[in-house]
Amino acid sequence: MFGNKALPSVIYKYGARRPVTNADEVDRQVRDAHRYRNKLVEIERDRRSCVNAKLMQLAPRLLSLETEIERLDNLIAEKRSEIKRANATRRRRDVTPEQRAELRQWQADRKALRTELKERKADAFADPRIRTALAKVDAEALAASKAARAASGVYWGTYCQVEQSLSGMRSGAPPRFLRFDGTGKLAVQLQGGLSVAKAFAGEDRRLIIEPVPPKAYLPGEPKALQRTRVWLRIGSDGREPIWTIVPITLHRPLPDDASIKWVYLTRRRVATKDRWSVCFVLARESGWQKPGLARNGSVGVNLGWRVMDDGVERGLRVARWVGDDGTEGELRLPMPDVERWKKTEDLQAIRDQRFNAAVSLLADWLADPGCLLPDWLVERTATLRQWRSAARLAAIAIQWRGERFEGDDTAFATLEAWRKKDKHLYEWQANQLRKAIAWREDLYRNLAATLSRRYHTVCLANTDWRDLARRPTAEQAETDAGARRYQRVASPGALGRLLRERFAETVTVDSRHITQRCHACGEVNQFDAAAHVRATCRHCGAEWDQDINAARNILRAASGPVACETP
C-alpha cells in the first residue's frame, strides 16, 4: 500500500500511568471509540438484513436453500455428537448401519443443495435487478459508516484502528456487539514511520518522547532514570495539536534504527483498577531476528496437557519435544504451581457464595422493608433474584450511598459490607491470575529460547486450540472441572504462539492421526488417547509414550512436502 513495502514489525510495550494532561479527554475518546465500534457493527448487521430482505424479495429460493442447508448441518452435528456420547459411555467406537445410512443420506442431500445454491447465487449476482439493489444497500451502508465516523468524536488514528479491527466483518458470521467494561485504546498513526531519534528530538507534531539519560540502562544505575513521558496527539485545535502527556517507564531502550509506525495508549480494567500501557509498533529494514538462533536442525514439539504421575515429579506435561539430533525432552509444570489456578477458582467460589447470600438477604428485605422504598431502588432491583453479576449489585450499593433514606440502616450496611469485601476478593483474584500467567509465560519463553538456540526450525501440528476450548467434545464434557482447568493452565495455544514468535522458521503439519499413527511402522492405531500415556502398536508391537510418538510424527511430517511459514 502507498508504495511502501511492509517491513517486519514488532511491538514494544511499556507500563504507564494515567495521563497527566487531558486525561478526561482520553477517557472520553476511549469510550467513544468503543461506541463507534459498536455503531459500525450495527451498520453491518443492518446491511446484512437489508441484503437478505432484497434477496428474499428478488430470489426467494436462495434463502430457503440456505435455511435447509443449515437445518441439515444441525441434524448431522447432533447425530454425530449423539454417537460420540453413546460410544464414550460404552467405551467403544462404533456406528450402527442405520446411523451410517442416515448420516450418508443427509450429507448427500446437503451436497445437492449446496451445488444448487452455488449455481443460483451465480445467477442471482448476474441478475442486473439484484446487482442494482445490492449496490444500493452497500452505498447506504457506506454513507452510514461515513456519517458514524464524522459523529464519533474520535481522532483519526483511533478511528482508523477501530476500522482496521473490523476489516473482516463483511464475511463470515455477523460481527458482535461488545459491552464496554472500561478497557480500550487510543491510537496514533505515524504515516510513513517516524524514526526513534526524531521521536526523541521533540519536533514531531504527532509523537514526542522525552529523552532518558544514556546511563539509564547501565548496571547499578537507579531504575528511576528510565521514567519519562510520552506526548501523544489526540486531537487538533485549529492547526495546533492537542496532546495528552503520559508518564511511562522505558524499561528497555527503543532500538535506534527502528521506525515507529503506530503508538497505542491502552487502558485495561483489572478488577476495579485501571492499568495503563503504551505500545510502540516498530519496523526496521534489518528485521527482528534474535541473536544466537541456531542455523540448522529441526525440532518437533507436541503440545497438549496431561497430568503425569510417574514417580519423577507429579506435574502437568504441556510439551514433549524431539529434535532431529535424537535429543528429546519435555516441559512439565509442577503441581504446586498448577494449584495457583485452583486458588483463583476458590476465590471465585467464595465470591459466588457471598454474592448469592447478599442477593437473597437484600431481596428478602426489599419484599418486607418496614419503611418506604425510593422508586429508583424498586425499579433497579425488580429482577434482583435472577442476577448473576457482582458489578451490578455493587452499582446499587454505590448509588444507595448517595441516596440514603429513612429506615435503610441495616440493609444498607449489610450490602455495603458485602461490596467492600467483594472488591477486595476481586482484586485478590485478578492479581493471583495475573501472576500465575506471568509465571507460565516466563517458563514458556525460556523453553522457546533454549530450543531456538539449538534448532533452526520448530515443527508444530495445526491444532486449533481455540476451537477445542470452545466446543468440548462429548468425552471432554463428561470429565470433571479439573480437566478443563488443566487445559486452561497449560494453554497450549500460548506456548505455540511463543514458539512461532521466537523461531526463525515454523513448519506446521496436519494434526490428523498425529497421536494414533505409530512412528515406527506408520500404521494408524485406534485407542483412547486420554487413558494411558504409554501405548503399544497393534501392528508392529512397538511400545511408546504417546506424546513422544506424536512429537516424532510431527518432526517426520515436517520433513515432507508441507506448507512453510516464516514470521
Binding residues for Zn ion, per CB under 5 A? 518, 520-521, 537, 539-540, 542
User: Of 463 and 553, which has the nearer Cβ to Zn ion?
Assistant: 553
Site of grid cell 442486473: 128
The least distance separating Zn ion from the CB of residue 544, rounded to whole angstroms, comes to: 9
User: Of 290 and 539, which has the nearer Cβ to Zn ion?
Assistant: 539
The least distance separating Zn ion from the CB of residue 559, rounded to whole angstroms, comes to: 19
The least distance separating Zn ion from the CB of residue 469, rounded to whole angstroms, comes to: 32
User: Of 477 and 542, which has the nearer Cβ to Zn ion?
Assistant: 542
User: Of 56 and 542, which has the nearer Cβ to Zn ion?
Assistant: 542
Q: Which three three-digit cell numbers place residue 75?
A: 441434524
The least distance separating Zn ion from the CB of residue 99, rounded to whole angstroms, comes to: 30
User: Of 417 and 542, which has the nearer Cβ to Zn ion?
Assistant: 542
The least distance separating Zn ion from the CB of residue 520, rounded to whole angstroms, comes to: 5
Q: Which three three-digit cell numbers place residue 524?
A: 494408524
Site of grid cell 534448532: 455
User: Of 417 and 540, which has the nearer Cβ to Zn ion?
Assistant: 540
User: Of 250 and 518, which has the nearer Cβ to Zn ion?
Assistant: 518
The whole-angstrom separation of Cα 138 and Cα 427 is 46
The least distance separating Zn ion from the CB of residue 459, rounded to whole angstroms, comes to: 21
Q: What is the dihedral of CA 114, 117, 118, 121, to 10 degrees?
A: -160
The least distance separating Zn ion from the CB of residue 467, rounded to whole angstroms, comes to: 29
Burial (0-12, 13-18, 19+ Cβ within 10 Å), 33? buried
Fill in the amino acid letter for 485.
Answer: R
The whole-angstrom separation of Cα 425 and Cα 269 is 16
User: Of 178 and 521, which has the nearer Cβ to Zn ion?
Assistant: 521
Dihedral sign for Cα 433, 435, 438, 444, please.
Answer: negative
Our measurement of the distance from residue 559's CA atom to the centroid of its chain's CA atoms, rounded to an integer in Å, reads 31
Backbone phi and psi for residue 499, each to the nearest 5 degrees, phi listed first: -65, -45
Q: Which three three-digit cell numbers place residue 472?
A: 468440548
User: Of 142 and 540, which has the nearer Cβ to Zn ion?
Assistant: 540
Q: Which three three-digit cell numbers place residue 166?
A: 473490523
Q: Taking the CB of residue 172, how many other CB atoms lie within 10 A of it?
A: 7
Q: What is the dihedral of CA 413, 415, 420, 425, to 10 degrees?
A: 140
The whole-angstrom separation of Cα 250 and Cα 12 is 10
The least distance separating Zn ion from the CB of residue 529, rounded to whole angstroms, comes to: 16
CA angle, residues 339, 334, 550, in degrees to nearest 5: 115
Dihedral sign for Cα 543, 320, 485, 474, please.
Answer: negative
The least distance separating Zn ion from the CB of residue 521, rounded to whole angstroms, comes to: 3
**Of 503, 507, 509, 506, the residue nearest 454 (C-alpha):** 503
Do 277 and 13 form a contact (C-beta atoms < 8 A)? Answer: yes
